[in-house]
Amino acid sequence: MVVEVDDGVPLVDRLDDEFDMVVRMPVPPRTDDLTAAIGRVRPRMLLLKHPLENLDVPTVALCRQLGVEILVLARPSYGLLQPSGLRRFGGLPWIRLRPGSRRHTSMDLQRCFDLGFLALGAALVLPVILGISLIVACTGPPFYRQQRVGAGGRLFHVVKFRTMRIDAERDTGPVLARPGDDRVTRVGGYLRRWRLDELPQLWNVLRGDMSLVGPRPERPEFIAGFRGMPHYDLRHLIRPGLTGIAQLTGGYAATVEDKLRCDLLYLNCRSLRMDLTLLALTLLELLRGFPRG
């Protein structure tokens, strides 16, 4: 028994040949109507053809309570990362969302992976950090600390190499970075191009404020304006990351909506395999100089 929520896109599927399709609903369904249908028929699966970011919290909670498996139609960007939950039904690719009961186990495993990676890479990374510190120190303090929002909405101070002039926000206040930002110093431009300004955040990973992979941590001043977006706070269920899907696919030019879409994908499909894939892609982009900015 399967419930399908269709977004009206003319996708030909053969789901009726494989499943007993008990309900088909158009998008956007009212949350009450969808949860009522799930509670009434108690299907084995819920298939969603609309984007992942439109999946609401009450529906997820009810499905987990009743043991209903949730699958979202895979977009091209999802398939590129080869999430471990990818399935094919009715001639279409679907991503199986991870059950909430595995969240803590997954986070513990990720923490062990982070610490192991830091231990193995310390001998290579520390000399690079020291060298960059000496170069940046020629024009002022090499590091700067900035408040960010982490898991559970907890505030922490991220550590980065200083890439902008010392008085960068004196006249404007907090402003999002943008491509071609005139506040960036000459050395800072090179550091940002190859993301070397992010290296000191390994200290935050060691402290447990961040993970190697996860959503990009944002400043509380900006998040106050983002909370009107549906499900934005879901990205704070896990630790923010040094790299991630949004950082790799969008760069500094990515919109808030694009970042949220990537963060929700990672939140629901994260695995050790995906983390390794994202880290490998990050190393590749480091060699290319992050052409997306």
What are the tokens at 136? 């940046």
Query: What number of other Cβ atoms are within 10 A of residue 276's Cβ?
Result: 12
User: What contacts 254, CB < 8 A, 6 or more positions away?
Assistant: 246, 262
pLDDT (tens digit, 0 to 9) for every residue of the chain, 293 residues total?
A: 555 565 555 567 788 888 888 888 876 667 788 888 899 989 999 988 877 666 776 787 788 888 898 888 887 655 555 555 678 888 888 888 765 545 566 778 899 999 999 999 999 999 999 999 999 999 889 998 999 999 989 999 999 999 988 876 666 666 666 666 778 888 988 898 888 999 999 999 999 999 999 999 999 988 888 877 877 888 888 999 999 988 887 766 678 888 887 888 788 778 888 899 899 988 888 887 665 55
Rounded-to-integer distance, Cα 146 and Cα 155, Å:
10
Looking at beta carbons, which pairs linking 86-89 to residues 24 or more positions away fall under 8 Å? Answer: 89/15, 89/18, 89/19, 89/47
Whole-prediction pTM: 0.73
CB 269 within 8 Å of CB 97 = yes
Q: Which residue reads 């000459």 in tokens?
A: 186
- CA R_g for the chain: 21
CB 175 within 8 Å of CB 169 = yes
Domain boundaries, the chain: 2-97, 103-288
Rounded-to-integer distance, Cα 144 and Cα 83, Å:
35
Rounded-to-integer distance, Cα 72 and Cα 239, Å:
23
